[in-house]
Amino acid sequence: MEQIKLIEKHGPNYALLEVSGTINSYTISEFQTKVYSLVKETNLVLDMSQVTNLTSSGIGVLLAAYNDAEAAGNKLYIMKPTELVRLAIEATGFAQFFMIIHSLTEVL
């Protein structure tokens, strides 16, 4: 069975969500609920260095979260994406919407 692990941490002006495993139709509900909730409250950093699969449903959640963040005056960051995640985002043509960072020191 497909699995996802989400670990939530908080900094002074952001929430960090460490994501590991696969983001697909089987795991999307848990990912979506957590991401949508956090991005409306504060800047959200998604640590995607341990993501092994990202399907179109996951990309859809990221795009909607970007829009929710903008509407709330917050930012959505993708930190240390795996090669697979980076390629999936680039393949959609929406890469310019996402702020890709390599460490938490880059968060505003």
Instruction: Kindly report the three-state secondary structure assignment for every residue of 17-71.
Output: EEEEEEECCCCHHHHHHHHHHHHHHCEEEEEEEEEEEECHHHHHHHHHHHHHHHH
Classify 96 as helix, strand or coil: helix
What digits encode the pLDDT tens for the residues 2-43? 799 999 999 999 999 999 999 999 999 999 999 999 999 999
Superfamily of structural domain 8-16+33-103: STAS domain (3.30.750.24)
Residue 83 pLDDT class (50, 70, 90 cuts): very high
Question: pTM for the whole thing?
Answer: 0.94
**CA atoms of 27 and 7, how far apart (whole Å):** 15
Q: What is the mean pLDDT of residues 76-101?
A: 94
Q: What is the mean pLDDT of residues 57-83?
A: 97
d(CA 13, CA 99): 16
